[in-house]
Amino acid sequence: MSEHFDHSADTLELISFEIGDQEFCIDIRTVREIRGWTAATPLPQSPDYIRGVINLRGSIMPVIDLRARLGLGLTEPSSRHVIVVVQESDRCAGLLVDGVQETFTIDASLPQSPPDLGDDPDRRFVDAIIPIEGRMMSRLVVDRLMPMAEASRRAA
């Protein structure tokens, strides 16, 4: 029997993954599935962080190179890389990461606001820093990572 955690206001369930030597996490509720790396079909004139598109059971979905999206360079995918399929509202995308670490539950008071670096808070990919077990993990905002979110914010 698997454990199910209560998504009450006092806890958060997250999934962590690595990119290079950095750890990031996202809300587990945005994750649809985790799959092995499969080559994506490139799209002309797409941003450098879009690896292309894949067909996921009849749905065409973009694959975002999360390393490139975060400004950390391009990923050279291998069989050890995984795609974390995320869904936010009616939009789906695959996030190419080096590897998934774990799912974990934390107290909702643990995440802290990232430092103000003079950038626009509405455009930040990281909404919280989580100090956990002697290390610090950045929590990403899935909606802001997706390419459509940028265009819709500019139009607003």
Average pLDDT by stretches of 10, the chain with 156 residues: 52 95 95 95 94 94 96 94 94 96 94 81 84 93 78 43
pLDDT of residue 152: 45
pLDDT of residue 121: 60
What residue segments make up the domains of the chain, in order of their start? 11-155
126-132 and 31-36 beta bridge pairing: unpaired
CATH architecture of structural domain 11-155? Beta Barrel (2.40)
pTM beyond 0.75: the answer is: yes
Phi/psi for 10 (5° steps) reads: -95, -5
